[in-house]
Amino acid sequence: LQGYVGFANLPNQVHRKSVKKGFHFTVMIVGESGLGKSTLVNTLFGTTLYPHKNDAEPSDETPATVEIQSLSADIEENGVKLRLTVVDTPGFGDFVNNEESWKPILENIEARFDAYLEQENRVNRRKMVDNRVHACIYFIAPTGHSLKPLDIEFMRRLHTKVNLIPVIAKSDTLTEDEIKQFKQRILDDIAQHKILIYQAPQYEYDDHETVAENREIISKIPFAIVGSDKEVELSDGRRVRGRKYPWGVIEVDNEEHNDFVKLRQMLIRTHMEELKEYTNDVLYENYRSEKLVTMGV
Ligand code: GDP
Ligand code: MG
């Protein structure tokens, strides 16, 4: 089951819809350097989208602004194909003055809305390509304190444009108690600053199991995650993805150890369609109507 993603197990109805439309999912990852963004992406999708960094050759180029890098992979599972695009944003928060770190990211998201709008206005809409960002995973440094001004600013600027999914990076560096308290403080900050993070809808007609599963996923937000694309050996000889410490191994795919599995479930299995629909029906629609108003249409 290593590296197994799970989208091939989507509920039938959703599945059929998606297969017909073609799975195309775009996720953006944002957070300060070194928080494990590239590692998580490799861990999440069981595929290396990123060329591994060559430690012997550190890059001496320092870009003057946040870069936007788009990488795609086609992954296939039980005959179901998913075109996955990951938009990485290296450089975010790395500068002496990070006041406008959010700006190139917002511009990128809006440019993707514009490209979609342009296609909608064409006479022939048959070959529409949806490159809009369907989810933005925002990495919070595992300080154990509260959100930084940089985090708050980013989320406030972006929350009406993209589905924000906050995660606590490198949660293996915090104790269970610290994580619990940190999560609460983050949620308090988010509420206090009136930030909208992605809220999964609950449907009354869903069966008990689905409702319970969704509730369980939502209760873990902000997901405390651990990423590792390396396998380590447990004392019983099993090999798992994880991080090794003198006192033991933190397993990436063990729900007792961290929320990685829940994040993946939400993104790829339970909420992929929802994230796409909310992007289209609410975020994009608001953008589109505001744009039409400013253009005087
Ligand atoms: P990025 O700059 O955000 O893309 O971060 P990278 O994915 O390049 O990771 C930076 C460093 O942190 C690497 O040495 C990773 O092995 C390490 N790292 C990544 N994820 C985790 C994690 O969950 N826990 C710990 N302790 N280290 C991690
Ligand atoms: Mg990186």
ipTM of the prediction:
0.99
254: burial class by Cβ within 10 Å (0-12, 13-18, 19+)?
A: middle
**Is 170 touching ligand 1 by the criterion CB < 6 Å?**
yes
Nearest CA to ligand 1 atom 27: 170
Cα separation of the two ends of the chain: 53
**Is 48 touching ligand 1 by the criterion CB < 6 Å?**
no
What whole-number distance in Å separates Cα of residue 154 and Cα of residue 156? 6
Which residues are close to ligand 2, an ion, with C-beta < 5 A? 37-38
Q: Are 281 and 203 in contact (CB under 8 A)?
A: no
**Is 172 touching ligand 1 by the criterion CB < 6 Å?**
yes
Q: In a mutational test of the pocket of ligand 1, which residue from 39, 42, 143 has the highest number of ligand atoms less than 8 Å from its CB?
A: 39
Strands in 248-251's sheet, in edge-to-edge order, are: 231-233, 239-245, 248-251
Helix (H/G/I), strand (E/B), else coil: 251? strand
For residue 31, give the ligand nearest its CA: 1
For residue 35, give the ligand nearest its CA: 1
**Is 243 touching ligand 1 by the criterion CB < 6 Å?**
yes
For residue 267, give the DSSP letter.
Answer: I
**Is 142 touching ligand 1 by the criterion CB < 6 Å?**
no
Q: Is the pTM of this model over 0.90?
A: no
**Is 35 touching ligand 1 by the criterion CB < 6 Å?**
yes
Mean pLDDT by 10 residues, the chain (297 residues): 52 55 84 94 71 41 73 75 87 84 95 95 84 97 96 97 98 96 98 94 77 90 95 92 93 95 89 93 96 82
Q: Are 87 and 27 in contact (CB under 8 A)?
A: yes
From the alpha carbon of 228, which atom of ligand 1 is closest? Answer: 20
For residue 37, give the ligand nearest its CA: 1
Q: What local confidence, expressed as pLDDT, does residue 73 receive?
A: 81
Question: Bridge-partner residues for 136, per DSSP?
Answer: 28, 164
What whole-number distance in Å separates Cα of residue 6 and Cα of residue 265? 8
From the alpha carbon of 173, which atom of ligand 1 is closest? Answer: 26
Q: What local confidence, expressed as pLDDT, does residue 56 receive?
A: 36
